Amino acid sequence: MVGYVPLGNGSHNAVVGCAVASRRFLGQARVLVESYLEQHPGGRFTLLIPDDPDGERSLGLPIEELRPADLGMDSAELHRMALSYNVKELACAMKGRLLRFVVERGDVGILLDGDVCVYDDLTPIAEVARAEGLVLTPHGTVPHLPPDRYPPMPGHAPRMRNALGPDQMMVLAGTFNTGLMAASAGAVPFLEWWNERTARYCLLEPGRGLFQEQGWTTLAPTLFDCHVFHAPGWNVSLFALPHDDVTWEDGRPRVQGAPLRCFHFITFDPRSPEKLSGTVHIEGVWPAAEERPGAARVCREYAARLMAAGHEEALADTSPYEWLDGGIPVDPNMRAAYAEALLQHEAGRGEAPPNPFEDGDVDGFLTWLDAPAEPPSEGEPPVPRYLVGLHTRLPWVFGSFRDVPGEDSERFLSWVPDAVDAGDVEVAERWVPEIEREPPPPDPALVTLQEQYRDLLSALESYRSSRSWRMTAPLRRAAGLARVRRTGR
């Protein structure tokens, strides 16, 4: 634990705000914590920084700062998750672990996302959690227009049949938004179930029903006792404001006639505060800034607060889980290859893959990625595990080369260099196949012209070496001189 200063009476069954924030998002975390403490004087807050194992970063605020080891997590499992996931996925996978830590020591936890700002008292949701165990909040509590009123899904033909509106986006992202939830000890069965799934499947693949940690919560009301918090003003984003705006009374923000408790700045980029979202499609389905001047004011003020909190400096930080020793970046293909081998091992189908975060053997890990996942059949080229990772994680690549390793291996390996050159995929230079390419066949029309040209040169040379050409040479010279005298040229 780093920087913990007990607040209040420190008794069990207290209300504790909590959040997970990676090093790069500590600017946002600072604003979250400060806004929470402003609305809860003397309150307690617990922050987990999942990618700072040596405690190099701190907000320097009177809160409890934790690392995964403080939750009782062993280093081997942390390193397995840190190599399987990117930093954002790792942070999301830690949410349930932090919340379980808080409730198991006897507190009631209010879990908040780092991109939330608190504007009023949050203890009412904690009191519901104290009685009900688990409290979830939806993305919004009012209906939107039907899909055909919105732009088509990115990557699809620009036709109304492919419309992607807010309702569909919320279905894909999970019914509930984990930017605000609350729990007490009664939620432990759910938290155990949630943590088991996010240990290996905290991935952003909506087409497979995976929206990091959030999508799993859709099943919570059917499997566990929980309470859905429908009150207005909680976990508000532009998804919750299709017909309303933020207003002010006595200098305090309100929405739908109720106090604005907390605002969730989903996809907001403080470097462009005039836009309500930094994502083009989401901006297209949300009301425009000029249509929601109250929400636009909230965004502008939040942007100024973020910048003053060192947001830009935090974004420039790096995570130790993004690099191997020696400055080698850990890319998505490495993570996919490792995660697949880890799952196979845990299912009893192979040896545990090497993990350089755990054993420090970078060369051993790279050599493992060089090797094929399985011996190739006779006549088939071996496919490195690294490139199998590429094939695993991109559905469209699998759709083009279905049998890899296998009958499509040679065609797949021949395609990779061209795809890298075209910018279609990203592959570390070490694993771009070296393909010996035959020169392209010549253009038949060009071959014909070249042959005709050679025939003309041969005929001209034969003519010039003939006896008649030599005998008529004086006459050609005389004719040339006469032409010069007559024309001056």
pLDDT in tens, 244-254: 999 999 889 99
The residues, any chain, with a CB within 8 Å of residue 363's CB and separated by 6 or more, are none
Burial environment of residue 118 by CB neighbours within 10 A (0 to 12, 13 to 18, 19 or more): buried
CB 66 within 8 A of CB 72: no
Closest CA to 245 of 298, 293, 175: 293
Secondary structure letter of residue 236 according to DSSP:
B
What is the per-residue pLDDT for 7? 38
CB 154 within 8 A of CB 245: no
What's the angle, vertex CA 193, arms to CA 188 and CA 197, rounded to 5? 140
What is the per-residue pLDDT for 11? 52
The residues, any chain, with a CB within 8 Å of residue 90's CB and separated by 6 or more, are 22, 50, 51, 81, 82, 202, 321
Angle between helices 332-346 and 75-84 (to 10 degrees): 130
Closest CA to 45 of 101, 140, 111, 104: 111
- Tell me the CA distances in angstroms from 319 to 43, 316, 335, 352, 364, one per residue in order: 30, 10, 15, 25, 22
CA separation for the pair 293, 335 (Å, rounded): 43
CA separation for the pair 93, 202 (Å, rounded): 6
CB 98 within 8 A of CB 18: yes
What is the per-residue pLDDT for 451? 73
Residue 344: Cβ within 10 Å count? 15
Closest CA to 34 of 309, 233, 313: 309
DSSP string, 303-323: HHHHHHTTHHHHHT---GGGE
pLDDT in tens, 112-135: 999 999 999 999 999 999 999 999
Angle between helices 385-393 and 362-370 (to 10 degrees): 70
pLDDT string in tens for the chain (489-residue length) = 434 333 333 456 799 999 999 999 999 999 999 999 999 999 999 999 999 999 999 999 999 999 999 999 999 999 999 999 999 999 999 999 999 999 999 999 999 999 999 999 999 999 999 999 999 999 988 889 999 999 999 888 999 999 999 999 999 999 999 999 999 999 999 999 999 999 999 999 998 999 999 999 999 999 999 999 989 999 999 998 989 999 999 889 999 999 999 999 999 999 999 999 988 888 888 888 999 999 999 999 999 999 999 999 999 999 999 999 999 999 999 999 999 999 999 999 999 999 999 999 999 999 999 999 888 999 899 999 999 999 999 999 999 999 999 999 999 999 999 999 999 999 999 999 987 656 566 777 766 767 776 766 676 566 566 666 556 666 666 666 666 566 665
